[in-house]
Structure 1
């Protein structure tokens, strides 16, 4: 696979994987807290697995796929499994793929514009998603379909591909923020003054009012450790491939053998659990917790 052959050899990639796998269960490195803007409640964790245990995402029920509304990791796992099976069963049938993809967007709370785009591009939708799926599984960011200017790859589409591509995680603004934060911790541990290019996972802003009283911080940059902004399309796809490969290698690492992430019950798995822990941490990087020594 091109990602494994080329990306893995770039400076600090294996170093970061080794470091994170070794520190995956740390009870000191990953303390974090913030205030949930909707509920006003304080959220905190003392470890990455602790963040997973506190995972919460409110999603609507789906009568067609026979799952109820929920919010915890177990209920989300059941919903995602139903959505995954529906997407796979749809194959390349445009009408069925449109229905399945629309339901994924509803689960993820990203129907705005995404569903409109799916409907406008219904003809050929099934074939297009299959072509992108193949390129992602082959981990080939240079595949023509992933280099195309017409490629739609954003926080909505990453959810679809995470369900139909093995070991492919949802790379949205929250996961990107937390992953960047882990890179900051790695750079500090290794006394690096700049973020290595191969670990410069791009970030995206939270979707909120420009006049928000307490805006959420999704940019992990601090001091000389700076990250670039995420761009939709090919840029997003490339970094989604990289992030998925890196974190799958962390989970598979010998040093992570006894991590509680491996004890997560099916239909979820260790990689999905790690993704969900990052999702929780990345809600707001704030100015405390992991960044308290800035």
Structure 2
């Protein structure tokens, strides 16, 4: 399952329907009942959520948990303590935060392939990073399932180039090029760009030169960044990713929104791209060594240290994993 925050936010949206109280797709709406003031727009919700009765589908899925002993969640106490308590109170169910589960295996070879199998040699990538200054490189990966348009890829590319920061960009799936051919085919990247696909994600994020991560805010990617103590440039696109963005930028305050406003299904072509100016501005806010960036980096590093303690023996995730096992043992049929 996803983290507690997105689950709580979606449940509160279902109960209070604030998206039905705004006139346009882009009018701000506040999600009531959360520990912090969280404001979104209707355009950032999936279409089926916006239809009358659209929240019944996840409601039916979640109601199946009534027959279960509880829920095992890939999260940890210090990341989502308030949301964890709200979830337990509202559902009257047991919940065990056992994450981040990616830390259960710290084998270097496995870390190199985490996220997707690396298409480039880890050593060549790490050698390139070794030549960079601390916190000077941005890692960019916007998911492996949903596609980006060539136009959006081009805007990201020019925004990154204008920021003047070094970066590693794992380019995922791409829609067919536009009718005028801009942004598609061979040579769509600006000069001096080198294109590749798979990269050793976990090893990159934990490398000292990496000072930021541009992410689609999928829950696994969000946890990878938190675990590495790296602040984020958030670029959500689908599913629960806009809720995860709000956790990162508004509640944890370890990221900056690039300005994505349209939530689409993974195989649906999105609307107009987020412009290069917004991309550049968000990257600079995270990567520049000014007060806001330094404070975000401090908070991210603090969470990264708490992650390590959570999964160690005696930590909150370790204890919850033990408790969930004991609960199952106690219910074992004779």
Task: Return the TM-score normalized by structure 2.
Answer: 0.31
- Structure with greater proportional helix content: 1
- Structure with greater proportional strand content: 2
Task: Return the TM-score normalized by structure 1.
Answer: 0.34
Larger relative contact order (CA 8 Å, sep ≥ 6): 1
Larger radius of gyration: 2
